[in-house]
Structure 1
């Protein structure tokens, strides 16, 4: 089984981006058969040249078929890919008499494909191909060439670049899967918590309401006053149950600094970003915990989405929250959206403005981005500001 057989299907947006990169990289590999064809004109002529060109054309057709096979799923896909690689290898060998050392440009394509599909064999295949490209031209005196240094370097660096691209693509897909799993687990945990809270909160209250309602029905024909007392108790229990439900729902929707620090730490970990976050939210007063929670949610989410950072830090104080990263910053940084029309960041600006605070965002030197939200102390706010 190849590495590509084990890859999961990416999301549509990632599929488009990954597909475009693969198409560009794959089309670029056709430069090497073109170099081989150009070299034949100086080595052979007549029918030998025609045969050599036919070999290169056949090699290109096999490569196109290989690219199509890579884009399709199926039980026999690996078998087709292996067969096409075998044919391409045979065509490379057939091109040696007419292209001489430059036939190893065809070998560059074959070795690069192997480096992408069978990454565990990359070192052995690349080393073997590089040595062959270097030594075979030197070992064939009739070619009147020394060691194929240029061909060997082309094979080495191209195949290693393709192998690195495959590693990055696999890592990105694993990261997307990890993010989806984190979101799924968080959602499942919240659903379980709500179900557990509602069961615990309402189980006793609804049972008591049922029992007292039946008792009031029986007492209604014997003792009206006692029946009224029981119905009054039912009303009290109902109000309490409603208050409990509202409290549970409010707790479900509530955004807090502590909760967003925990969520952000897990999100950054899944994204491969080193998280330097406070272990507690004690520095933030009760009045600011919800607002600063929204700041953390938007800021940390944008770091993961846009910054391409390796490290992210959060500083908390009673009147401010600061988020820094060492990502690319500039116009593409995570804070760039603060001046845009994104709903999340627009809502954040409105929340901060309603609290009498300010938002500062900008790039750091030499790289990175900073998001700073500052609010005035409660005793210095104008009347009517919460």
Structure 2
């Protein structure tokens, strides 16, 4: 059995024993006293009449008190059941109400078995399914034994059948409402996760876009400043400043497209941008001239890898030479800079790992033997992964 199977079974068990008592809509607490009173009248009025009709005064008073307590429990059960109380608290409340119901059945006799319908409703809506079946099923079994013993003063088999049918309908209605509550909670959780995922996507994409663009703009602006300071090649400085302007406009367009989730990265375009950025930083670049040998479905994610790797070279490496190699399902970037501390990974590399994981790939970053850093992104074939 896999860990996922165990988790799924645990989730099923949690749903089965779940706390069926999450807060319902607030309007219930306003409407229920009126609705609940109307539900109680058809059976409580005859019961009160039966009590006041005759018999010992003390016994009649006791029966009346029990009926009033039972009715109050029925009217108050939303506050006891739906206010975030634990299963144990709700179980005790339902057990007390069930005991009151049975006392009324025993004392009133007649067709008083119908009184149990109210506590069956509370069990169905207030307790997890196993506990509701335990208390409700035990009560119905006790009623059946009572009728089978010949004590027909408490009701007939048809009365018991009616109570059983209504109780079953209430039980399944309670499970339905519990399922609806669970679905609402799941929808809220999915919405929260979607917002978090969108924030992570924006943070990752903006980091990749602005990090590279601003680094390239900084390098080119610095180059233009140095050329202007020497005063030897003003035309080149003007060309660099034009490229800075173009990069700024491109970055603004990329940000707008990223926010709209319409932006796509091209590996070939990233190679062209990397060549220009590395040349401006006076870093010798050994780059491929074409990307035809790379799988089409991997060119976008490899474009992100190349962009982030070149950005890190420009920012941190102090390298003088960068070499890029491409394969059908792999990309490798190596420089001769200072390398990186063992295990150090910034937000950019973590974002690349997430992008590669989405296509079944991995990212490996390690210090090269002769100094510098080597970054390799690789996507293994599906058959190899499955094996």
| TM score, norm. by length of structure 1 | 0.52
Which among 159, 168, 171 is matched to residue 163 of structure 1?
A: 171
What per-residue deviation string (whole Å, max 9, x for no partner) do you get for residues 80-118 of structure 1? Answer: 544444443443443345411433233332333223313
Equivalent residue, structure 1, for 2:114:
105
Query: Counterpart of 2:180 in 1: which secondary structure?
Result: helix
**Cα distance in 2 for residues equivalent to 1:38 and 1:137:** 24
CA shift for structure 1 position 123: 4.0
Q: Are the equivalent residues in 2 in contact too, given 1:134–1:148 (CA < 8 A)?
A: no
Q: CA RMSD in A?
A: 3.7
CA shift for structure 1 position 124: 4.7
**Cα distance in 1 for residues equivalent to 2:160 and 2:89:** 28
**Could you list the runs of 5+ residues in structure 1 that have no partner in the other structure?**
254-386
Between 1:166-175 and 1:145-154, the stretch displaced more is 145-154
Q: Kindly tell me: are residues 22 and 60 of structure 1, through their superposed partners in 2, closer, same or farther at Cα, counting changes over 3 Å? A: closer
**Cα distance in 1 for residues equivalent to 2:109 and 2:215:** 90
**Between Structure 1 and Structure 2, whose CA radius of gyration is higher?**
2
The 5-angstrom pairing of residues 1-386 of structure 1 reads 5=19, 7-9=21-23, 15-16=25-26, 26-27=36-37, 29-31=39-41, 32-40=43-51, 44=55, 46-74=57-85, 78=87, 80-96=89-105, 98-116=107-125, 117-137=127-147, 139=149, 145=153, 148-222=156-230, 223=232, 224-251=234-261
Q: Are the equivalent residues in 1 in contact too, given 2:113–2:155 (CA < 8 A)?
A: no
Q: Kindly tell me: are residues 236 and 90 of structure 1, through their superposed partners in 2, closer, same or farther at Cα, counting changes over 3 Å? A: closer
CA shift for structure 1 position 186: 3.1
Q: Relative contact order: is structure 1 or structure 2 higher (C-alpha 8 Å, sep ≥ 6)?
A: 2
Query: Counterpart of 1:72 in 2: which secondary structure?
Result: coil
**Cα distance in 1 for residues equivalent to 2:32 and 2:57:** 37
Equivalent residue, structure 2, for 1:341:
none
**Cα distance in 2 for residues equivalent to 1:21 and 1:119:** 26
**Cα distance in 1 for residues equivalent to 2:49 and 2:144:** 20
What per-residue deviation string (whole Å, max 9, x for no partner) do you get for residues 213-240 of structure 1? Answer: 1122222232233322322222222222
Q: Are the equivalent residues in 2 in contact too, given 1:133–1:151 (CA < 8 A)?
A: no
CA shift for structure 1 position 138: 5.8
What per-residue deviation string (whole Å, max 9, x for no partner) do you get for residues 197-255 of structure 1? Answer: 333333332212111211222222322333223222222222222232333334459xx
Q: Kindly tell me: are residues 100 and 52 of structure 1, through their superposed partners in 2, closer, same or farther at Cα, counting changes over 3 Å? A: same
Q: Are the equivalent residues in 1 in contact too, given 2:106–2:154 (CA < 8 A)?
A: no
Q: Are the equivalent residues in 2 in contact too, given 1:111–1:159 (CA < 8 A)?
A: yes
Q: Are the equivalent residues in 2 in contact too, given 1:35–1:102 (CA < 8 A)?
A: no
**Cα distance in 1 for residues equivalent to 2:236 and 2:106:** 110
**Could you list the runs of 5+ residues in structure 2 that have no partner in the other structure?**
1-13, 264-387
What per-residue deviation string (whole Å, max 9, x for no partner) do you get for residues 298-350 of structure 1? Answer: xxxxxxxxxxxxxxxxxxxxxxxxxxxxxxxxxxxxxxxxxxxxxxxxxxxxx
CA shift for structure 1 position 63: 3.6
Q: Kindly tell me: are residues 41 and 136 of structure 1, through their superposed partners in 2, closer, same or farther at Cα, counting changes over 3 Å? A: farther
Query: Counterpart of 1:16 in 2: which secondary structure?
Result: coil
CA shift for structure 1 position 65: 4.5
How many residues align? The count is 245
Q: Kindly tell me: are residues 114 and 216 of structure 1, through their superposed partners in 2, closer, same or farther at Cα, counting changes over 3 Å? A: same
Equivalent residue, structure 1, for 2:373:
none
Q: Are the equivalent residues in 2 in contact too, given 1:69–1:81 (CA < 8 A)?
A: yes
**Cα distance in 2 for residues equivalent to 1:146 and 1:204:** 84
Between 1:112-121 and 1:37-46, the stretch displaced more is 37-46
Q: Kindly tell me: are residues 190 and 73 of structure 1, through their superposed partners in 2, closer, same or farther at Cα, counting changes over 3 Å? A: closer
| TM score, norm. by length of structure 2 | 0.52
